[in-house]
A and B are shown apart, each in its own frame.
Chain A
Amino acid sequence: MSETFPLTWEEVARSHGRKIYNYAYRLSGNPHDANDLVQEVLLRVRSGLAEYQPGSFEGWLWRITRNAFLDEVRKRRRRPTLPFPDDSDQVLASFSSPAPDEVLADLRLDDDIQKALSDLPYEFREAVVMCDVIGLSYEEISIAVAIPVGTVRSRIHRGRRLLRERLT
């Protein structure tokens, strides 16, 4: 991607909008949150492209996406109306609260794998989704999350190991 610059933000929307939606959906398990995130990320990309320094575009874009997602998580923690999980306890707690039917319906869409993902600690879930759902390289994840590549490797493996134990 980095060779094709300059990109417009419309091109970014076209090439990555769906991936951003899927990223948010797989992390949150909630399509409404994913909707909000796509819009928020594209606005941030729009304002951030002018300052983009050529390098790893994927790393840059997913760093924006990740930060926007975490901002949404923080917002919803302050007014918790939707299950935006960050660890298994919260996930289970939110499901046992008066959650709307649509939340449970959403979970059924991808049944066991989505549920297993939602139960993962956030840092493992994030690494696994970036790698196996979005298809980022370890280097790109390292830039997006601002952690060493070795930590990326460890998180992906531990995340997959935990998923394996939850999937029959």
Chain B
Amino acid sequence: MSSERPLALHLGEVVSAYLDGELPPLERRRAESHLAGCDLCRDELTDMMFVRARLRALPMLELPPELTTKAPVVAPIYRRAKVLVGAAAAAVTMVLALAAMASPGDVVALSGNEFSMTYGARASLDQNQTGRLVPIENLFFGDIDSGVNG
């Protein structure tokens, strides 16, 4: 580490807690008092500030294209087969929920492959015809039973 002196003589991990505002008032004052007279702990604080700033500067990534599409889609649920109801409802609800996460004007859909990978049922939304209602029958394909069971 950066010092051969016992850690107890320095702030150690308290530096991060201080930086994060996670110390109670008394401990915080003690830390500040120590920092005022300790170059080594101030260096440590500088290092932690540097790392934290780098991490905080990472961009919050948008949901990726696999989860989003520009085409507004409304997908009513029709009952087709009992085994599909749960998966279909989950799929459509997921789409609507994810749509809520998109910026205004965007509506979000999950790709069929993404859904089939995760839930064993292939779901798709019509991304070519803006605003078109897509019955749930059209969202699933012929191998749905094997998909559900697989």
Q: Which residues of A does B touch, CB under 8 Å?
A: 9-10, 13-14, 17-19, 21-22, 25-26, 31-32, 34-36, 38-40, 42-43, 46, 110, 113-114, 128-129, 131-133, 137-138, 153-154, 156-158, 160-161, 163-164, 167
Choose among A26, A46, A160, A164 the residue that contacts B58 (Cβ–Cβ < 8 A): A26
Ordered by A's residue number, 11 sampled pairs between the chains whose C-beta atoms are within 8 Å are: A17-B97, A21-B63, A26-B58, A34-B64, A38-B67, A42-B97, A43-B90, A131-B20, A132-B55, A133-B55, A153-B22
**CA–CA, A2 and B17, complex, Å:** 24
Those 7 A-B pairs whose CB atoms lie nearest each other, nearest first: A157-B13, A132-B55, A13-B97, A157-B16, A14-B100, A17-B101, A160-B51
Majority SS at the chain B contact face = helix
Q: Which residue of B lies closest to A158 (CB)?
A: B13
Flag B7-37 by CB within 8 Å of A: 1 or 0 each.
0000011111100101000000000000000
**Interface bracket on B:** 35 or more
Of B77-85, B110-118, B131-139, which stretch is located at the interface? B110-118
Q: Which residues of B does A touch, CB under 8 Å?
A: 12-17, 20, 22, 47-48, 50-52, 54-56, 58-64, 66-67, 90, 93-94, 96-98, 100-101, 110, 114-115, 117-118
Q: Say yes or no: A38-B63 contact (C-beta < 8 A), given A10-B96, A26-B58.
A: yes
